[in-house]
Amino acid sequence: MKQIETYRHKKILVLGLAKSGVTAAALLHKLGAFVTVNDRKPLSENPEARGLLEEGIKVICGDHPVELLDDGFELIVKNPGIPYNNPIIEGALEKGISVITEVELAYQISEAPFIGITGTNGKTTTTTLVYEMLKEGQKQPLIAGNIGTVASGVAEEATKENTIVIELSSFQLMGIEAFTPKIAIITNIYDAHLDYHGSRKEYIKAKANITKNQTENDYLIVNYDQEDTMEIARHSGAKIIPFSTKSELSEGAYLCGEWICFNGEKVMEVKDIALPGVHNLENILSALVAAKLTGVDNLAIQEVLKTFTGVKHRLQYVSEINGRKFYNDSKATNILATVNALAAFKTPVILLAGGLDRGNEFDELIPYLRNVKALITFGQTAPKLERVAKEAGIKMMKRVDNVGEAVPVAYQYSQSGDVILLSPACASWDQYKTFEVRGDIFIEAVHKLK
């Protein structure tokens, strides 16, 4: 990593722990900063905080006292999940104190260039596809970010020979200053996280941050089929390369008949792609552009697309039991993601759905429920989902307490040839800490059926 002097002897507050906060605090300590960590969880229940305390880092736990701002901090590194209406954040911004996320730290210390991927849906799949294509092409990629590996930890180990492929949320992108990916991808933009951002306009503005520092020496890969992504492109300083599943383009990646093409060249027949779902063609095309820009050849791209069947919790094939195929799409935390999952199957589906109630209704699902023969609901949104299921003409419905109970009930409603699909259309936080926990419970329940 670069041995920067930027933070030596500076007073820095790391607000919120989890993986990113722990890594950021330890890194800043190494870089000579005077670090204070503040986390809401009490010290007695907080092994991460105790570990930092043992390293000589000041730790304050139990709540977020606004009086901390009287300590003269010059910078705050914020956990992405902490909203900007947090009193400490509001107070810091009023005082002119910079507030960043650890992605900015990663960029500042990294010797490796970044390929950054954001968007409402498809981020994880696209990030993984780019990583796998670069790996197959012998480009020494590292994977980081919102996909589960802390960016600044990866950047510490990266060299000039590596490329860091990073998934970025809107929350992370709100906290950048100098961060500049050599290649940026915006997969798509739909309404999401409006409870955090306050409006669609602010959400789009956060996503657009991925390209705010790019120049003509950088690349922005955007969805040609969406006005919002193309509007971001019009204000970018990067070289724009589009992808489209609907139009043949003079430059970029697109469908040409039964092939995926790049700049007029046929790369691979669609029928040979292993990853299911029409929506995944967007992810594949955007990843293809990034791989091509990095010098990956067609053979390496073809090998990945012939064998890659998806990432965990994103339309993940789990098992087949007596002719029923089980798919885990726990990462479907919004309606569009569930729409895409349902569109991937032609056979009858037993749908498992429900979760955190963010105040929205689910009427947009109705046209896509025609293949759903039964609905198993759980969580806060169960009544809302049952209402739209009735309107869609679904006769078989059952409400259960949790995902673990939903699996055997779904099996009872199914027969050979059916798909049993967990695609909740909701966040998990009413019952589960993360969508990963929810998905793991589903997988475990499927294996118990065996």
Dihedral, CA atoms, 85, 87, 89, 94, nearest 10 degrees? Answer: 100
Find out whether 295 and 306 touch, Cβ atoms under 8 Å: no
Which of 268, 275, 343, 285 minimizes the C-alpha distance to 309? 275
123 is in an annotated binding site: yes
Domain made up of 104-307: CATH architecture? 3-Layer(aba) Sandwich (3.40)
What sign results for the dihedral spanned by CA atoms 391, 397, 402, 404? negative
Q: Tokens for 51, please give them.
A: 């570990």
What is the C-alpha separation between 344 and 356, in angstroms, rounded? 24
122 is in an annotated binding site: yes
Strands 265-269 and 259-262: antiparallel
Find out whether 334 and 203 touch, Cβ atoms under 8 Å: no
What is the C-alpha separation between 18 and 101, in angstroms, rounded? 13
Find out whether 380 and 362 touch, Cβ atoms under 8 Å: no
128 is in an annotated binding site: no
pLDDT at 335: 94
Q: CB count, 10 Å around CB of 432?
A: 21
126 is in an annotated binding site: no
pLDDT at 278: 79
What is the C-alpha separation between 76 and 11, in angstroms, rounded? 9
Task: Report the CATH number of the 11-100 domain.
Answer: 3.40.50.720
pLDDT at 435: 95
101 is in an annotated binding site: no
Confirm whether pTM is higher than 0.85.
Answer: no
Strands 75-78 and 183-186: unpaired
Domain boundaries, the chain: 11-100, 104-307, 316-449
Query: What is the homologous superfamily of the domain 316-449 according to CATH?
Result: Mur ligase, C-terminal domain (3.90.190.20)
| Helix 18-30 × helix 47-54 angle, to 10° | 0
159 is in an annotated binding site: no
Q: CB count, 10 Å around CB of 444?
A: 12
pLDDT at 148: 65
Low pLDDT (below 50) residues in the chain: none
| Helix 227-234 × helix 200-208 angle, to 10° | 50
277 is in an annotated binding site: no
Q: In what order do the strands lie in the sheet with 75-78?
A: 58-61, 34-39, 11-15, 75-78, 98-100
Common-topology check for domains 11-100 and 104-307: no
